[in-house]
């Protein structure tokens, strides 16, 4: 049996950087408490492991207000500027693991809003990354996600607009929404801030799924990007299985396969991917 593991399976650069930073802090800690502002990734296994190392999650601004000492790690999604200011004012040690691609959007938004531009973010209003981006603007911000949002968007005609995107937004949809806004004849500057990691992972998963008899997609059941990968792979390979860890894999399903493909969502750690890969190899 041949096994094809996607090169882009698992952590993207920004998530890997954030996870590594948490473990580095945990290894270096003497007596300081370590917190992450929000869960560092959506993966139960990793979160359990971090908890066992004494790392705690701060869930809200309210919770943060009550913390007097320790290290707070900002996850790859980033945070609004006021959270960074709070950390400084409370004398907490801050380790910033905001992905550099997200940090770049913060800088753009901060600078462009200082020029008086209205900030238009194309993305999901409730996503922590978008909430973070919003918090770097001094001027008004609108978040749009759908065609209807784009058609309804309105500001005073003389207001200049700066358009940015959530890093994981779909490029074609971004282009389409920008086209709709362009028809309104505002003075707009468009910055495509989409990160290619997600797209590359999806494209590779699809091409592997087309070649294999069985496709395995590994990721947390709550991870939306893993669900998306599963959807994409299922379209090309009817025998696609969604598992969280090796425990969920039924080896009987692989019995007659000549070629098995493996990919994993952005928050699946390497050791889980390797464990699955090694066990498939050993069994066949």
Shortest approach of ligand F3S to residue 100 CB, angstroms? 7
Shortest approach of ligand F3S to residue 31 CB, angstroms? 31
Cα–Cα distance measured from residue 230 to residue 225, given in angstroms and rounded to the nearest whole number: 9
Give the three-class secondary structure for 138. Answer: coil
Q: What is the DSSP letter of 144?
A: E
CB 114 within 8 Å of CB 81 = no
Burial zone of 203 (CB within 10 Å; 0-12 exposed, 13-18 middle, 19+ buried)? middle
Q: Which of 129, 147, 158, 275 is catalytic?
A: 129
Give the three-class secondary structure for 239. Answer: coil
Shortest approach of ligand F3S to residue 14 CB, angstroms? 2
Shortest approach of ligand F3S to residue 12 CB, angstroms? 3
Shortest approach of ligand F3S to residue 105 CB, angstroms? 9
Residue with tokens 């008004």, as numbered in its chain: 140
* 129 classed as catalytic: yes
CB 38 within 8 Å of CB 124 = no
| Rounded alpha-carbon distances, angstroms, from residue 228 to 79, 130, 132, 235 | 25, 20, 24, 11
Phi-psi region of 41 (alpha: psi -120 to 50; beta: other; left: phi over 0): beta
CB 100 within 8 Å of CB 18 = no
Q: Which is nearer to ligand F3S, 71 or 197 (CB)?
A: 197
Q: Which is nearer to ligand F3S, 196 or 253 (CB)?
A: 196
Q: Which is nearer to ligand F3S, 165 or 239 (CB)?
A: 165
**In this chain, which residue has its C-beta nearest to ligand F3S?**
14
Q: Which is nearer to ligand F3S, 10 or 14 (CB)?
A: 14
The gap from C-alpha 237 to its chain's centroid, in whole angstroms, comes to: 25
Q: Which is nearer to ligand F3S, 101 or 186 (CB)?
A: 101
The contact set with ligand F3S (CB under 6 A) reads 12-15, 76, 99, 101-102, 167-168, 195, 197-198
Active site residues: 129
């Amino acid at each position: 049996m041949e096994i094809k593991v996607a090169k882009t399976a698992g952590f993207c650069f920004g998530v890997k950087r954030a996870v590594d930073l948490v473990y580095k802090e945990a290894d270096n800690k003497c007596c300081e408490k370590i917190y992450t502002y929000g869960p560092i990734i959506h993966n139960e296994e990793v979160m359990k492991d971090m908890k066992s190392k004494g790392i705690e999650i701060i869930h809200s601004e309210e919770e943060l207000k009550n913390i007097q000492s320790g290290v707070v790690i900002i996850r790859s999604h980033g945070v609004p500027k006021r959270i960074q200011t709070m950390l400084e004012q409370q004398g907490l040690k801050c380790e910033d693991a905001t992905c550099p691609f997200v940090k770049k959007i913060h800088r753009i938004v901060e600078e462009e809003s200082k020029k008086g531009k209205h900030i238009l973010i194309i993305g999901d209003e409730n996503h922590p990354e978008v909430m973070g981006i919003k918090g770097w603007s001094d001027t008004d911000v609108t978040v749009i996600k759908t065609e209807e949002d784009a058609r309804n968007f309105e500001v005073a005609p003389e207001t200049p607009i700066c358009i940015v995107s959530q890093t994981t937004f779909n490029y074609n949809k971004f282009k389409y929404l920008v086209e709709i806004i362009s028809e309104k004849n505002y003075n707009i500057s468009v910055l495509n801030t989409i990160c290619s990691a997600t797209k590359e992972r999806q494209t590779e998963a699809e091409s592997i799924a087309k070649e294999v008899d069985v496709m395995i997609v590994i990721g947390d059941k709550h991870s939306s990007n893993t669900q998306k990968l599963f959807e994409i792979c299922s379209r090309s390979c009817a025998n696609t299985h969604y598992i969280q860890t090796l425990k969920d894999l039924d080896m009987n399903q692989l019995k007659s396969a000549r070629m098995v493909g493996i990919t994993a969502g952005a928050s699946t750690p390497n050791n889980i991917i390797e464990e699955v890969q090694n066990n498939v190899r050993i069994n066949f």
